[in-house]
Amino acid sequence: MKYDLTIMGLGYIGLPMAALSASAGMNVLGVDIREDVVNTVNAGKIHIEEPGLAEIVAPAVSDGKLRADVKPAASEIFMIAVPTPVDHRTHQPDMAMVRSAASMIAAVVEAGNLVILQSTSPVGSTENSVKAVIEKIRPELAGKIEYVYCPERAIPGKTIHEMIHNDRAVGGLTLNATRRGIAFYKKQVKGKLLETDAATAEMVKLVENASRDVQIAFANELSLACDAMGLNVWDVIKLANHHPRVNILQPGPGVGGHCIAVDPWFIIDAAPEQTPLMRTARAVNDGKPEWVVSKVKEAAKGIKNPVICLLGLAYKENVDDFRESPSVTVADKLIESGLGDVLIVEPFMKDSDRYRLVPLGEGLNRADIVVHLTAHDTFKAIAPELLEGKKIIDTRGSLPQPINKRENNAAAG
């Protein structure tokens, strides 16, 4: 059987894209090296937390429009949607998974096919990490396959809506590739499809997230300054944002997720002399978890064997995405410090070999110190009286106000 579309990678982006494409009438093969993921999808189920996704995967599978396998098959279109992490020691992009996916595609690709790279990637990746890999394995196909880069613009928790409605930049290595890419995305996307070239599209994706990183770094640095001056950063930001040309973002325990915490390094790596601001922003945001740990240590002074309850490990609210999460960094550092008994409440984590997961009621009841790290809705609904007598470190500014007021108001950032 020849598929209309084969998607390499069935994670937070690949699976929703596969399901939407199948819902649009395409015969789709989703490929993942994890057999448990393949089996889950073929059973019409999902392995990630994403509102609305299960409702489109199940019928797509039952209708025969979507199936999964551990290896690709002949298709008209191939899409690569695998992770592109950064080496935490060198901050250099790791394109091994993209190159591996391209190598797997090379075994079945044919003249006239369209290959789309959707993974967030350094500038030049469509040319150097996809086209070059395929043509090295299949030199007879040089000049006979079209290549496109189209970055996703979707956030966990709203992926389905944003994949459909957000504008997207579509850039090919040739004009014809760009137009073929736009024709493909028109099947699912209601937002504008913006025509460009591959390198520009690659840079646009990185710029979007690097810009957010810099803005968040300002908010995080502001929270440090307000804490040093004994001010409530949330009040300061709320009042400052009444200025018609000011829109300060909210601080937190750092920056997480696979995009904002990673993508700026792709630009910094390519142009290190020209990006001091981006590098500084990365340092500010990467340093925030250590500051949170220092606030916990300060709060623990005078308490013998303190019980520390951490609220949330996910990088953002109401998702099960723990990639690059600063909340995880805080948890790891506190556990490694041996400061006290660390309890973790995370409604989106079912079990853990590393963390001591407890129900919300137990965590709050036992805690001497409560550290709010992730703004899940369930935490916003905590009854204020449950926080009475606790030392509170609210890095999100969304915990309910206890009657006796927060002991550490200015540390809310």
Please write the tens of the pLDDT for every residue from 237-276.
999 999 999 999 999 999 998 889 999 999 999 999 999 9
Is the predicted pLDDT of residue 25 greater than 80, yes or no?
yes
**Residue environment code for 305-339, b if the CB has 16+ CB neighbours within 10 A, otherwise e:** ebbbbbbbbbbbbbbbbbbbbbbbbbbbbbbeeeb
β-partners of residue 147 are 115
Is the predicted pLDDT of residue 84 greater than 90, yes or no?
yes
Residue 359 lies in a domain: yes
Adjacency order of strands within the sheet including 28-31: 66-69, 28-31, 3-8, 75-80, 114-117, 146-149, 168-172, 193-197
Check whether residue 250 and residue 396 sit in a common domain. Answer: yes
Kindly state the average pLDDT of the residues 313-330: 94
Residue 120 lies in a domain: yes
Give the residue from 355, 360, 326 showing the smallest Cα distance to 341. Answer: 355
pLDDT confidence bin for 21, thresholds 50/70/90:
very high
Catalytic site includes residue 226: no
- Report pLDDT for 138: 98
Kindly state the average pLDDT of the residues 177-191: 96
Give the whole-angstrom CA distance, residue 149 versus residue 170: 6
CATH number at residue 178: 3.40.50.720
Catalytic site includes residue 309: no
> Coil, helix or strand for 288?
helix
210 burial (CB, 10 Å; 0-12 / 13-18 / 19+) is buried
Is the predicted pLDDT of residue 408 greater than 70, yes or no?
no
Residues 6+ away with beta carbon under 8 Å from 119? 9, 80, 81, 82, 83, 84, 97, 98, 125
Characterize the bridge pairing of strands 146-149 and 168-172. Answer: antiparallel
Check whether residue 255 and residue 396 sit in a common domain. Answer: yes
Per residue in 129-156, pLDDT tens?
999 999 999 999 999 999 999 998 888 8
Is the predicted pLDDT of residue 405 greater than 80, yes or no?
no
Kindly state the average pLDDT of the residues 197-211: 97
pLDDT confidence bin for 127, thresholds 50/70/90:
very high
Between 284 and 257, the higher pLDDT residue: 284
Is the predicted pLDDT of residue 283 greater than 50, yes or no?
yes
Residue 208 lies in a domain: no
Check whether residue 240 and residue 193 sit in a common domain. Answer: no
Check whether residue 136 and residue 237 sit in a common domain. Answer: no
Kindly state the average pLDDT of the residues 188-215: 97
Characterize the bridge pairing of strands 369-372 and 341-345. Answer: unpaired
Q: Choosing from 205, 288, 390, 391, which is the catalytic residue? A: 205
Check whether residue 188 and residue 236 sit in a common domain. Answer: no
Residue 219 lies in a domain: no
Check whether residue 125 and residue 9 sit in a common domain. Answer: yes
Characterize the bridge pairing of strands 66-69 and 391-394. Answer: unpaired
Give the whole-angstrom CA distance, residue 227 versus residue 101: 47
Is the predicted pLDDT of residue 344 greater than 70, yes or no?
yes
Check whether residue 181 and residue 114 sit in a common domain. Answer: yes
The domain boundary, picked from 173, 198, 223, lies at 198
pLDDT confidence bin for 349, thresholds 50/70/90:
very high
- Report pLDDT for 49: 86
Q: What is the CA radius of gyration of the chain?
A: 23
How is residue 404 written in tokens?
Answer: 């006796």
> Coil, helix or strand for 312?
coil
Q: Choosing from 259, 288, 316, 390, which is the catalytic residue? A: 259
User: What is the rounded average pLDDT for all residues in the chain?
Assistant: 94
Domain count, the chain: 2
Question: pLDDT over 70 for what percent of the chain?
Answer: 97
pLDDT confidence bin for 300, thresholds 50/70/90:
very high
Check whether residue 182 and residue 258 sit in a common domain. Answer: no
Amino acid at 384: P
Kindly state the average pLDDT of the residues 388-397: 94
Check whether residue 182 and residue 238 sit in a common domain. Answer: no
- Report pLDDT for 88: 82
Other CB atoms within a 10 A radius of the CB of residue 125 amount to: 25
Domain carrying residue 52: 3-198
Check whether residue 120 and residue 22 sit in a common domain. Answer: yes
How is residue 388 written in tokens?
Answer: 């009475």
Check whether residue 125 and residue 191 sit in a common domain. Answer: yes
> Coil, helix or strand for 63?
coil
Residue 338 lies in a domain: yes
Kindly state the average pLDDT of the residues 11-24: 96
Residue 14 lies in a domain: yes
Residue 223 lies in a domain: no
pLDDT confidence bin for 116, thresholds 50/70/90:
very high
Residue 386 lies in a domain: yes
pLDDT confidence bin for 164, thresholds 50/70/90:
very high
Under 8 Å between Cβ of 251 and 222: yes
Kindly state the average pLDDT of the residues 34-62: 96
Under 8 Å between Cβ of 80 and 119: yes
How is residue 172 written in tokens?
Answer: 């090919």
Is the predicted pLDDT of residue 385 greater than 50, yes or no?
yes
Q: Does the reported pTM lie above 0.85?
A: yes
287 burial (CB, 10 Å; 0-12 / 13-18 / 19+) is middle
Task: Please give the backbone phi and psi of residue 254, each rounded to the nearest 5 degrees, phi first.
Answer: 150, -150
- Report pLDDT for 413: 45
- Report pLDDT for 228: 96
Check whether residue 184 and residue 36 sit in a common domain. Answer: yes
